[in-house]
Amino acid sequence: MEFFKKRTSIDFLGQRKYALALSLVMIVVSLVSMVVRGFNFGLDFTGGTLIEVVYEKPVELDEVRATLSDAGFDEAVVQHFGTTREVMVRLAPRAEEDSKEVSARAYNALSQAAPGQVEMRRVEFVGPQVGEELREQGGLAMLIALFGILTYVWMRYERRMAIGAILALVHDPIIILGVFSLWQIEFDLTVLAAVLAVLGYSVNDTIVVFDRIRENFRKVRKGSTADIINLSVNETLSRTIMTGVTVLLILLPMLFFGGSTLFGFALSLTIGLFVGVFSTIYIASAAALLLGVSRADFAPVKKEGAEADSRP
């Protein structure tokens, strides 16, 4: 605990040009991936049937795909989750067949190909209309949450600091969505919930640092704007580390042992944890510095006629 008792003096903003360049590259790659590759939407958004099966021995995905293809499921999406013994199969909805019939036929095909070696673990059904509504409502919920936070930040801080906070707030979900698009990780309602949680975590981290910056502008009389921002980030660093480590201790078991159901949720929160800290320092704070925020913006305004009232 000796580290947290000492005041650090890391020159964070000294590396802002490299950090901003890295951030710009990540944003461009994320946006290009979202446009070109799109998202691997989960069953919540697309509708259809999801089947999770467990084999006694490790199985090749090509064998599972071939078995399902022979049974008439050419469009089946097959992937491992957890171990090479566990397989998740996603089937598109079919107008001519009931979802229960689809899942039963797919499972029977897998069982016949490997008699006595396949156990069904989970089956889920979502109608295509429900999936489309969830996708629209989920996107709307994200936009409303983002707008509400942006309004709050704009009203709370000086204009240039507010712009920095808004840039950081937009930056974080773009990076998370880019990772899910680039690696085609399944995007479902739990991931959307995690992205909304990251927005709250990120803006909270930014508010803590910005409040300290505002306080130091009024309290510290020497030093440049960059020095004041660096001082503020260093003074809140122990809080940032302790909060991040505490959250990470919860997320890592979910990430590695939570299975496919919690993987996307835990992964998006883990990415958001690091990206949120990065954006607070190198997007929000650096943007405020580049936009010209200074001590004069926080100096108390003198009342007109105050000097005359103080005369004897």
pLDDT digits (tens, 9 = 90+) for 88-118: 888 877 767 777 888 888 999 999 888 878 9
In a domain, 311, yes or no: no
Integer Cα distance of 98 and 102 in angstroms: 6
Considering the domain architecture, whether residues 27 and 118 belong to the same structural domain is answered as: no
Q: Are 91 and 76 in contact (CB under 8 A)?
A: yes
Instruction: Kindly report the CATH number assigned to the domain that includes residue 180.
Output: 1.20.1640.10
Integer Cα distance of 81 and 102 in angstroms: 22
Integer Cα distance of 139 and 70 in angstroms: 37
Residue 195's nearest CA partner among 166, 174, 164, 181 is 174
Tokens at residue 291, please? 């936009």
Considering the domain architecture, whether residues 245 and 157 belong to the same structural domain is answered as: yes
Considering the domain architecture, whether residues 120 and 138 belong to the same structural domain is answered as: no
Would you say residue 60 has pLDDT above 50? yes
Considering the domain architecture, whether residues 86 and 148 belong to the same structural domain is answered as: no
Would you say residue 19 has pLDDT above 60? yes
How high is the pLDDT of residue 142? 80
Considering the domain architecture, whether residues 79 and 147 belong to the same structural domain is answered as: no
Q: Are 284 and 210 in contact (CB under 8 A)?
A: yes
In a domain, 303, yes or no: no
In a domain, 293, yes or no: yes
Q: Are 51 and 106 in contact (CB under 8 A)?
A: yes
In a domain, 310, yes or no: no
Q: Are 135 and 41 in contact (CB under 8 A)?
A: yes
- 30 pLDDT band, cuts 50/70/90, is very high
Considering the domain architecture, whether residues 110 and 193 belong to the same structural domain is answered as: no
How high is the pLDDT of residue 299? 60
Considering the domain architecture, whether residues 164 and 20 belong to the same structural domain is answered as: yes
Would you say residue 311 has pLDDT above 70? no
Tell which of 68, 101, 126 closes a domain: 126
In a domain, 54, yes or no: yes
Considering the domain architecture, whether residues 241 and 283 belong to the same structural domain is answered as: yes
Which residues are 187's β-sheet partners? Answer: 41
Q: Are 89 and 78 in contact (CB under 8 A)?
A: yes
Instruction: Kindly report the CATH number assigned to the domain that includes residue 70.
Output: 3.30.70.3400
Domain range enclosing 273: 2-39+131-298
Number of domains in the chain: 2
- 176 pLDDT band, cuts 50/70/90, is very high
Tell which of 82, 104, 126 closes a domain: 126
Considering the domain architecture, whether residues 203 and 252 belong to the same structural domain is answered as: yes
Residue 49's nearest CA partner among 14, 94, 4, 83 is 94
Tell which of 126, 156, 173 closes a domain: 126
Tokens at residue 299, please? 């100096």
Q: Where are the alpha helices (DSSP H) in the chain?
A: 2-5, 16-36, 43-46, 61-70, 99-113, 128-156, 159-182, 189-219, 225-235, 237-257, 259-279, 286-290, 306-310
In a domain, 165, yes or no: yes
Would you say residue 3 has pLDDT above 50? no
Which residues are 126's β-sheet partners? Answer: 48
In a domain, 14, yes or no: yes
Considering the domain architecture, whether residues 135 and 122 belong to the same structural domain is answered as: no
